[in-house]
């Protein structure tokens, strides 16, 4: 059953904190999941949250740190000494510890590293801090199980037992040579059914997916998704095994990328949340609003020059909102499919075949809508020539919107710009401008105003 915070629980915790009853407080919280405790701490004031954090054992609080909201974790870390933070990090795997220590100031970061008891653990954390956070190196765990291709099965099992003591979950057993270069992986089944004297070199699987330390996190996610992997090994420039990335790390990458793309599609230029300040929210949202305003001003200048047509052919203006909305929808639909294709790897670059397919969809859809509008306009206003101008304009505008919606994200992707930018106000306002110009251009050619 899913945990839910109650008012009674919060009041009980606050009462125990006020009475300084750390024993009962610890007893109450110890059986709870660390994610639930992190949720509880977010409901308390920072003094009470810090009190609870210091009451619980490091083995518990280390996991709680990972589940906290960023702003709460930042406040908690500011109230802990370098030694207290080091005690938390000693309980975590290297990549989680590196993520937390990266949030500290440079001065405090150095102090915390010096306080780490496990020297090898500290070295691994320092190594991870050198990598870009959006690379495979920045994602990977240093903890893994590896065996040498020259070992026997018996020797392999003994070494695996030692290595597995420091690992929470063993997804794969990797095989390396004497230079630590990744050679393949070992099947647990093959290990169990083989003779204890048999060399690992005879039974390990040589075909193995891996990534380089500099591989982008989104590319790692794509590879793991494509091959349905729970974990993937990471190698350096010389092919040496240096770490592994697990599926829980990739889930976070996918979520973060989806959140970023969603915000870009909505015209938000940087990562913000509901809890951010008014200034941060304005800073993130205003740029595309200004760009949209400038494009619409240009569109208004086009309309200003059509005052005569407005009086003679007033239905052209009546159907203008329909044209803008339809073109915007077609453009956004085309863009969304392209961005999705680029994200999951089904579309890698410009393709005449795909553009032809998208334009065919737009032509058929546009023709059906235009025929309906022509019939509706003819019945309601009995101006067949004007209805024809509106219908033809609508088809041309829809084809233009589909073309822009397909080509713009591909162009951005080719130039290393996130194509999700194209799915929001950019494509909508651009289609508005081109739509109005095309609409009145075609209408003028047919009606002669």
Q: What mean pLDDT do residues 333-351 have? A: 79
Residue 72: strand, helix, or coil: helix
Residue 427: exposed, middle, or buried by beta-carbon count in 10 A (0-12, 13-18, 19+)?
Answer: buried
Q: What value, to the nearest 5°, has the Cα angle with vertex 159 and ends 158 and 160?
A: 90
Q: What share of the chain is helix, strand, coil (3-state, %, to 5)?
A: 65, 10, 25
Q: What is the pLDDT of residues 86-109, one digit of tens each?
A: 999 988 989 899 999 998 988 899
Q: How much is the pLDDT for 148?
A: 95
Q: Please say whether the beta carbons of 223 and 211 come within 8 A.
A: yes
Edge-to-edge strand ranges of the sheet holding 211-212: 211-212, 231-235, 241-246
Q: How much is the pLDDT for 169?
A: 76
> Where do the structural domains in the chain lie, given as residue ranges?
7-139, 145-255, 278-447
Identify the CATH homologous superfamily for domain 145-255: CBS-domain (3.10.580.10)
User: What is d(CA 352, CA 23) in angstroms, rounded to the nearest whole number?
Assistant: 70
Q: Could you tell me which CATH number the domain at 278-447 has?
A: 1.10.357.20
* 38-65 core/surface letters (b: 16 or more CB in 10 A; e: else): bbbbeebeeebbbbbbebbebebbbbbb
Q: What mean pLDDT do residues 404-418 have? A: 83
Q: What is the DSSP string of 426-445?
A: HHHHHHHHHHHHHHHHHHHH
In Å, the largest CA–CA distance within the chain is 96
Adjacent-strand bridge partners of 199 = 152
Q: What is the DSSP string of 255-266?
A: HHHHHHHHHHHT
pLDDT greater than 70 at residue 77:
yes
Query: In this structure, what token pair is assigned to residue 329?
Result: 């929808």
pTM (2 decimals)? 0.67
Q: What is the pLDDT of residues 191-223, one digit of tens each?
A: 888 898 899 999 999 989 999 999 999 899 989
Q: How much is the pLDDT for 275?
A: 63
Q: Please say whether the beta carbons of 347 and 338 come within 8 A.
A: yes
Adjacent-strand bridge partners of 37 = none
Instruction: Tell me which of 164-168, 206-210, 211-215, 390-394 is least confident.
Output: 164-168
Q: What is the pLDDT of residues 277-303, one digit of tens each?
A: 777 777 777 776 777 778 778 777 766
Q: Please say whether the beta carbons of 112 and 88 come within 8 A.
A: no
Residue 280: strand, helix, or coil: helix
pLDDT greater than 70 at residue 422:
no
Q: What is the pLDDT of residues 234-288, one digit of tens each?
A: 999 999 999 999 988 888 888 777 777 666 666 566 665 666 677 777 777 777 6
Q: What is the pLDDT of residues 315-327, one digit of tens each?
A: 788 888 888 888 8
Identify the CATH homologous superfamily for domain 7-139: MgtE N-terminal domain-like (1.25.60.10)
pLDDT greater than 90 at residue 411:
no
Please tell me if the domain spanning 145-255 has the same topology as the one spanning 278-447. Answer: no
Q: How much is the pLDDT for 265?
A: 61
The set of residues, in sequence order, having a beta carbon less than 8 Å from that of 385 and lying 6+ positions away, is 446, 447
Q: What mean pLDDT do residues 390-401 have? A: 90
Adjacent-strand bridge partners of 174 = 146, 185
Q: Look at phi and psi of residue 207 and say left if phi exceeds 0, alpha if psi is from -120 to 50, else beta.
A: beta
pLDDT band of 382, cuts 50, 70, 90? confident
């Amino acid at each position: 059953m899913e945990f839910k915070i109650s008012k009674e629980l919060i009041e009980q915790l606050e009462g125990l904190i006020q009475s300084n009853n750390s024993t009962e407080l610890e007893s109450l919280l110890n059986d709870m999941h660390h994610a639930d405790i992190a949720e509880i701490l977010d409901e308390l004031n920072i003094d009470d949250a810090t009190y609870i954090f210091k009451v619980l054992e490091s083995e518990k609080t280390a996991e709680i740190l990972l589940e906290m909201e960023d702003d709460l974790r930042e406040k908690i870390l500011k109230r802990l000494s370098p030694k207290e933070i080091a005690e938390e990090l000693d309980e975590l795997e290297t990549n989680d510890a590196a993520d937390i220590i990266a949030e500290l100031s440079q001065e405090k970061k150095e102090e915390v590293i010096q306080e780490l008891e496990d020297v090898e653990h500290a070295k691994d954390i320092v190594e991870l801090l050198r990598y870009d956070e959006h690379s495979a190196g920045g994602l990977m765990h240093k903890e893994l199980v590896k065996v040498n291709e020259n070992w026997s099965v018996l020797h392999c099992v003994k070494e695996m037992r030692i290595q597995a003591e420091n690992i929470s979950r063993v997804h794969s057993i990797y095989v390396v040579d004497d230079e630590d270069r990744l050679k393949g992986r070992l099947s647990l089944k093959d290990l169990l059914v083989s003779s204890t004297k048999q060399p690992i070199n005879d039974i390990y699987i040589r075909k193995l997916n891996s990534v380089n330390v500099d591989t982008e996190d989104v590319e790692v996610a794509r590879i793991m998704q494509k091959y349905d992997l729970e974990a993937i090994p990471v190698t350096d420039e010389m092919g040496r095994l240096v770490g592994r990335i697990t599926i829980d790390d990739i889930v976070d990458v996918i979520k973060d990328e989806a959140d970023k793309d969603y915000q870009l599609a909505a015209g938000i230029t940087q990562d913000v949340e509901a809890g951010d300040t008014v200034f941060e929210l304005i800073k993130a949202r205003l740029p595309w609003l200004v760009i949209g305003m400038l494009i619409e001003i240009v569109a208004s200048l086009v309309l200003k020059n059509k005052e005569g047509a407005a009086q003679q052919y007033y239905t052209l203006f009546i159907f203008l909102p329909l044209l803008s909305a339809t073109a915007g929808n077609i453009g956004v639909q085309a863009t969304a499919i392209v961005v999705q294709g680029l994200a999951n790897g089904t579309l890698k670059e410009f393709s005449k075949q795909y553009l032809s397919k998208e334009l065919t969809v737009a032509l058929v859809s546009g023709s059906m809508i235009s025929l309906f509008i022509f019939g509706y306009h003819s019945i309601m206003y009995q101006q067949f020539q004007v209805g024809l101008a509106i219908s033809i304009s609508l088809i041309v505008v829809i084809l233009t919107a589909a073309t822009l919606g397909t080509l713009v994200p591909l162009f951005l992707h080719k130039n290393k710009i996130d194509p999700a930018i194209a799915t929001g106000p950019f494509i909508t306002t651009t289609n508005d401008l081109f739509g109005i110009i095309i609409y009145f251009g075609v209408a003028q050619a047919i009606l002669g105003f």
